[in-house]
Amino acid sequence: MNWARAALPGLEDKDSDRLDALPVQTLPRGARLFMPGDHAQGFAVVLEGRVEVCLTGTSGREILLYAVEPGQSCIQTTLGLLGDEPYSGEALCVGEVTLAVIPVSLFHALMNRSDAFRRFVFRALATRMIDMTALLERVAFIRVEARLAQALLDLEQRGTVEATHAELAVRIGSVREVVSRRLEALARRGMLATDRGHVTLRDPDGLKRLALTV
Domains and CATH numbers, the chain: 4-140 (2.60.120.10), 142-211 (1.10.10.10)
pLDDT above 90: percentage of residues in the chain: 69
Tens of pLDDT along 14-32?
A: 999 999 999 999 999 999 9
Closest to 70 measured CA to CA, from 112, 8, 23: 8
Residue 197 pLDDT > 90: no
Tens of pLDDT along 87-110?
A: 999 999 999 999 999 999 999 999
The predicted model gives 41-46 an average pLDDT of 94
Q: Which of 19-28, 49-58, 69-78 has the highest mean pLDDT?
A: 19-28
Per-residue model confidence (pLDDT) at position 147: 92
Q: Which amino acid is at 67?
A: A
Q: Let me know the angle formed at the C-alpha of 35 by 89 and 114, rounded to the nearest 5 degrees.
A: 75
Note the pTM of the prediction, 2 decimals.
Answer: 0.77
